């Protein structure tokens, strides 16, 4: 099977994505929020902005904006993207996503095959293994766990217990009934997961592995379908994960995600704890538990199809 999706299906899909993304972005902004003076507001049929109002705010014709919203985005200039981003009050992640979609829609030839991701380098694994009191994992762009240190394996043991390989965060969140117990803020984790996958799908619309994962989740999870339809995207490099671990209980874990320069599709994610906090005590206990079960933990294969 080719790693690239069918070009005709991709182009149709990108046009639909542009339409749905722009529609959802203008629907969330009221005329008052946009600084427009509206008369006889009670007669409006929509709460958000109309197409002609977006065009007015962006300084382009209504006909041109309507054409663009329908996915006919070839030749859109950076200046128009700037104006649309301002009119629709897009944040950095949303603007980047719009640029990705417009670039894909304007591509008339199939892009070159995405370079094959590289295995996690031994030096990175050694860095992971040196972090004895910090859970750490390496993820790829579609949220597969590629590798981890001993404490990372122990922290995410409920996810790794799933026999399906490769181990994937999104599949665990939406398809595993244990996810609601493991993630104490499941709704937030679900929204964040969707936002990351949505951005990745916009960056690489021809990546079959990404589209297959989205298709699987859409088919099997109503929660995924509903949240996916919101078209939210997000840059998610830092935050706090609240989990309930089956061995040590509740943990509040600030995390940082570091892209690996040699392969930007991979990120090193670390989870830390405040010294003296209950979470810190829990991590120390988890480290002791992980050491005692080291053989079992190390034998948990992440699968051969990691990249």
State the DSSP string of the chain.
--SB--HHHHHHHHHHHHHHHHHHHHHT--HHHHT---SSGGG-S-SS--HHHHHHHHTS-HHHHHHHHTT--TT--HHHHHHHHHHTT--HHHHHHHHHHHHHHT--SPPPPPPPPPPPPHHHHHHHHH-TTS-EEEEETT-BEEEE-HHHHHHTHHHHTS-SSS-BHHHHHHH-TTHHHHBTTHHHHHHHHHHHHHHHHHH-TTBHHHHHHHHHHHHH-HHHHHHHTT------SEEEEEEEETTTEEEEEEEEEEEETTEEEEEEEEE---TTSHHHHHHHHHHHHHHHTHHHHHT----S---
Lowest model confidence (mean pLDDT) among 7-11, 109-113, 251-255 = 109-113
Q: In this predicted structure, what is the pLDDT of residue 9?
A: 80
Task: Report the percentage of the chain scoring pLDDT > 70.
Answer: 89
Per residue in 74-120, pLDDT (tens digit) is 889 999 999 999 999 999 999 999 999 999 887 766 656 666 667 89
Return the higher-pLDDT residue of 235 and 54: 54
Average pLDDT estimate for 163-187: 95
Q: In this predicted structure, what is the pLDDT of residue 1?
A: 47
């Amino acid at each position: 099977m080719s790693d690239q999706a069918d070009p005709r299906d991709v182009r149709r899909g990108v046009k639909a994505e542009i339409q749905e993304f722009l529609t959802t972005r203008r629907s969330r902004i009221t005329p008052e929020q946009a600084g427009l003076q509206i008369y006889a507001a009670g007669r409006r049929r929509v709460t958000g902005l109309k197409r002609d109002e977006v065009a007015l705010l962006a300084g382009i014709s209504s006909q041109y904006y309507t054409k663009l919203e329908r996915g006919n985005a070839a030749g859109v200039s950076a200046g128009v993207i700037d104006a649309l981003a301002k009119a629709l009050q897009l944040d950095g992640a949303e603007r980047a996503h719009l640029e990705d979609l417009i670039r894909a829609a304007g591509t008339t030839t199939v892009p070159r095959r995405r370079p094959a991701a590289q295995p996690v380098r031994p030096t990175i694994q050694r860095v992971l293994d040196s972090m004895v009191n910090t859970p750490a994992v390496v993820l790829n762009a579609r949220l597969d766990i590629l590798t981890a240190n001993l404490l990372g394996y122990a922290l995410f043991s409920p996810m790794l217990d799933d026999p399906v390989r490769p181990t994937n965060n999104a599949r665990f969140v939406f398809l595993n009934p244990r996810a609601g117990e493991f993630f104490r803020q499941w709704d937030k984790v679900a929204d964040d997961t969707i936002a990351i996958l949505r951005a990745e799908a916009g960056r690489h619309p021809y990546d079959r592995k990404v589209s297959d994962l989205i298709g699987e989740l859409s088919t099997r999870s109503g929660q995924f379908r509903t949240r996916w339809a919101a078209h939210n995207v997000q840059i998610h490099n830092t935050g706090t994960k609240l989990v309930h671990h089956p061995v040590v209980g509740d943990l509040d874990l600030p995390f940082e995600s570091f892209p690996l320069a040699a392969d930007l599709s991979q990120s090193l994610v670390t989870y830390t704890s405040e010294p003296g906090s209950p979470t810190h005590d829990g991590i120390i206990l988890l480290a002791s538990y992980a050491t005692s079960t080291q053989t079992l933990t190390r034998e948990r294969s992440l699968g051969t199809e990691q990249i």
